[in-house]
A = this chain, B = another copy of it.
Amino acid sequence: MLEIYSKNLENAVNEIAKLPGIGKRTALRLALHLIKSEKEDVTLLTERINKLKTDVCCCKQCFNISDDELCDICANPKRDPKTICVVQDIRDVIAIENTNQFKGVYHVLGGVISPMEGIGINQLRLQELFTRVETGEVNELILALPATVEGDTTNFFIYKNVKEKVQTITTIARGIGVGEELEYADEVTLGRSLVARMEFDKAYKK
């Protein structure tokens, strides 16, 4: 075990090491870096971290993170509110936004149905999604959940509950990643990518 000869340093290291992916040694390196940093820089860091809890809230419509009641995406009149992309997590919103391929809005579930982890339908923002599509004004619901058993379960649950009220329900394509070699793809992915094969000219359409 790492013995540290300062109670204050040890306390800081223990708290930093609680962050995901950061072990004791990395936490010590970061803490020693902070000790050597300027006081103003450390104060700025901690102020901005505290603001994450005080000033950042959830968009009341899509549950994306937001500084205001409505997030920048929901509040943007150029985005199409009739196309909703359902994702698991805020990080997925950021990932999809960075593709520049989507001009609709989002719905962040906050997870997927997983009895193993004790996540049932009441822990997710499923009811809020059903309320959003209740109006009958949603043209397309894109299910962009992870390609896991839990993701598929959640997909089917949503599909069952909204199929009467939404014109089109789609799910993002599963297949061989761009730049990926076929020989290294697993059989299930390769099999699905054959079943879901596309007409050549459509596949290369932008």
CB-CB contacts below 8 Å: A1-60 with B: 2-9, 11-12, 14-16, 18-22, 26, 28-35, 37, 39, 41-53, 55-56
Q: Does A103 sit within 8 A of B, measured CB to CB?
A: no
A94 partner residues in chain B, CB cutoff 8 A = 2-5, 28
CB-CB contacts below 8 Å: A52-101 with B: 52-53, 55-56, 64-67, 71-73, 90-91, 93-94, 97-98
Complex CA gap A63/B133 in Å reads: 65
Contact in complex: B49, A97 (CB < 8 Å) = no
Contact in complex: A41, B19 (CB < 8 Å) = no
A18 partner residues in chain B, CB cutoff 8 A = 41, 45
Complex CA gap A159/B133 in Å reads: 79
CB-CB contacts below 8 Å: A117-170 with B: none
Residue on B nearest A89 in the bound complex, by CB: B32
Complex CA gap A204/B25 in Å reads: 30
Contact in complex: B35, A52 (CB < 8 Å) = yes
Q: When the two chains form the complex, which single residue of B32, B45, B66 contacts A16, counting CB atoms closer than 8 Å?
A: B45
Contact in complex: A8, B55 (CB < 8 Å) = yes
Complex CA gap A3/B90 in Å reads: 12
Complex CA gap A15/B39 in Å reads: 14
Contact in complex: B19, A52 (CB < 8 Å) = no
A46 partner residues in chain B, CB cutoff 8 A = 46-47, 49-50
A34 partner residues in chain B, CB cutoff 8 A = 19, 49, 52-53
A35 partner residues in chain B, CB cutoff 8 A = 52-53, 56, 65
Contact in complex: A29, B39 (CB < 8 Å) = no
18 contacts between A and B (CB under 8 A): A3-B98, A5-B73, A6-B66, A8-B56, A9-B56, A12-B48, A12-B51, A12-B52, A16-B45, A16-B49, A20-B29, A22-B30, A32-B90, A34-B52, A35-B52, A37-B53, A42-B53, A46-B49
